[in-house]
């Protein structure tokens, strides 16, 4: 039962190790060539982009994989309809992004760079559709190849760039690297990238709980911290926190890869409960071994990535590793609930977590700085784990 998912997970982990190595080199170049202040502006811009990208996705990847797995005879139709919907949502995200860029004071000095980053929404939307195709067909090895092209091409360009590396050049190269990875992904998927503006209202009705939850989750997972730290503390603190959070997100990725691998089986399998508990044991076993090692290696990771200027990031990273434990469990709980068509439960839990996160950050960041933001992240993930566990237990009962 778990043979194919474990293979997909192993391939993705190997790919992720490569991407982490690429990310180490990329981040080391950016932090040293841009400096903490400009790197903080890069973190702020990409954080807002991720929030808008969540709007463009609107839960369509997860729901699309679920529906295509259940209805393989309608796979092509589902992909084309969701590709069209994703493009419409990308346009909405772009307009909202422009409003944020030209009203939020944190973007006053980097508006051109931020607008260039917003163009990524359209290309990332198409890349997400390709990921849907790969995941449904259980070809996450091909998805991993597409994923590697993006950061690798970006690294090679900024590494060989002979002139002064400014944030403007970084955003231009970031956009071009995404376009290149999209071309490679289309060739691997052997799918014609057809878009159908059809059954839009049907899909919106199906997607809205998951879509709103994804926006909420991205808001408190990526954007709120950075925007509040920028407002209360400044861009240098955004850089310190952003570096730790970048490592944290990389460490959480294996959980996503594994759960994404078993999600088609969770959606279609009659032995869902057995699959869930086997997966939970595997996840907990990995955490038991990995967490102490990562805590000990935190100073080394920060020093390699940022150097002495990023020393405040060490304590933040160690706190976020505690959040990682709950994040791993949350991935499994959340996707299992989605497989059982529990999007509305997910949405309610997301709203509670968002309110808690905003209130916690409003209190903690002005008083305790970036350490306070990290602690709030731990408690947010802990609260989500409890609520997701209760929701799944009620559904099974």
* Domain residue spans of the chain: 3-396
What's this model's pTM, rounded to 2 decimal places?
0.74
In sequence order, what are the residues at sequence separation of 6 or more whose Cβ sits closer than 8 angstroms to the Cβ of residue 299? 314
Residue 135 has pLDDT above 80, yes or no: no
Instruction: Pick the range with the lowest mean pLDDT from 56-60, 65-69, 87-91, 300-304.
Output: 65-69
Measured in residues, the chain has a length of: 397
Task: Decide if 208 contacts 344 (C-beta within 8 A).
Answer: no
For residue 397, what pLDDT band results from cuts at 50, 70 and 90?
low
What tens digit of pLDDT does each residue of 151-200 get?
999 999 999 998 889 999 999 999 999 999 988 888 887 766 677 777 88
Provide the terminal-to-terminal Cα distance of the chain, rounded to the nearest Å. 24
DSSP string across 271-292: -HHHHHHHHHHHHHHHHHHHHH
Handedness of CA 238, 242, 244, 249 (dihedral sign): positive
What tens digit of pLDDT does each residue of 24-47 get?
788 889 988 888 888 888 888 888
For residue 5, what pLDDT band results from cuts at 50, 70 and 90?
low
For residue 59, what pLDDT band results from cuts at 50, 70 and 90?
confident
Residue 381 has pLDDT above 80, yes or no: yes
DSSP conformational letter for 340: T
CA 342 and chain centroid, separation: 21
The predicted structure's pLDDT at residue 334: 86
Q: Average model confidence (pLDDT) for the chain?
A: 85
What tens digit of pLDDT does each residue of 250-269 get?
888 888 878 877 777 777 65
What is the distance between the alpha carbons of residues 47 and 227, in angstroms, rounded to a whole number?
Answer: 8
In the block, residue with structure tokens 């956009």: 175
Per DSSP, the three-state class of 303 is helix
- Mapping DSSP onto H, E and C, the string for 13-76 reads HHHHHHHHHHHHHHHHHHHHHHHHHHHHHHHHHHHHHHHHHHHHHCCHHHHHHHHHHHCHHHHH
The predicted structure's pLDDT at residue 20: 75
159-165: long-range contacts, CB 8 A cutoff, minimum separation 24: 159/25, 159/29, 165/29, 165/33, 165/34
CB atoms within 10 A of CB 35: 14
What tens digit of pLDDT does each residue of 271-320 get?
677 888 888 888 888 889 999 999 999 999 998 888 888 999 999 999 99
In sequence order, what are the residues at sequence separation of 6 or more whose Cβ sits closer than 8 angstroms to the Cβ of residue 99? none
């Amino acid at each position: 039962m778990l043979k194919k998912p474990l293979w997909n997970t192993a391939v993705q982990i190997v790919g992720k190790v490569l991407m982490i190595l690429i990310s180490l080199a990329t981040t080391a170049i950016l932090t040293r060539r841009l400096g903490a202040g400009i790197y903080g502006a890069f973190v702020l811009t990409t954080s807002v982009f991720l929030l808008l990208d969540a709007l463009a996705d609107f839960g369509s990847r997860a729901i699309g994989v679920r529906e295509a797995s259940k209805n393989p005879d309608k796979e092509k139709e589902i992909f084309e309809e969701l590709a069209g919907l994703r493009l419409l949502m990308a346009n909405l995200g772009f307009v909202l992004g422009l409003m944020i860029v030209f009203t939020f004071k944190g973007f006053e000095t980097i508006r051109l760079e931020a607008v260039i980053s917003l163009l990524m929404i359209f290309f990332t939307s198409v890349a997400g559709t390709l990921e849907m195709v790969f995941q449904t067909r259980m070809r996450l090895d091909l998805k991993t190849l597409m994923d590697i092209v993006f950061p690798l091409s970006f690294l090679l360009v900024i590494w060989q760039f002979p002139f002064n590396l400014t944030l403007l050049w970084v955003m231009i190269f970031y956009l071009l690297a995404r376009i290149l990875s999209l071309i490679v992904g289309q060739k691997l998927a052997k799918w014609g990238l057809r878009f159908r503006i059809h059954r839009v209202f049907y899909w919106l009705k199906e997607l809205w709980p998951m879509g709103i939850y994804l926006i909420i989750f991205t808001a408190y997972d990526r954007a709120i911290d950075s925007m509040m730290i920028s407002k209360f503390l400044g861009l240098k603190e955004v850089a310190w926190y952003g570096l730790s959070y970048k490592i944290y997100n990389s460490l959480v990725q294996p959980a996503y890869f594994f759960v994404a691998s078993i999600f088609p089986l969770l959606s279609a399998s009659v032995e869902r409960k057995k699959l869930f508990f086997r997966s939970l044991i595997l996840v907990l076993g990995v955490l038991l071994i990995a967490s102490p090692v990562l805590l000990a290696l935190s100073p080394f990771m920060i020093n390699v990535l940022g150097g002495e200027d990023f020393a405040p990031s060490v304590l933040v990273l160690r706190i976020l590793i505690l959040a990682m434990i709950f994040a791993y469990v949350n991935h499994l709980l959340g996707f299992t609930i989605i497989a059982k068509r529990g999007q509305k439960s997910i949405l309610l839990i997301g709203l509670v977590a968002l309110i808690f996160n905003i209130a916690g950050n409003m209190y903690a960041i002005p008083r305790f700085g970036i350490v306070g933001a990290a602690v709030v992240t731990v408690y947010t993930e802990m609260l989500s784990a409890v609520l997701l566990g209760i929701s799944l237990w009620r559904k099974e009962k």
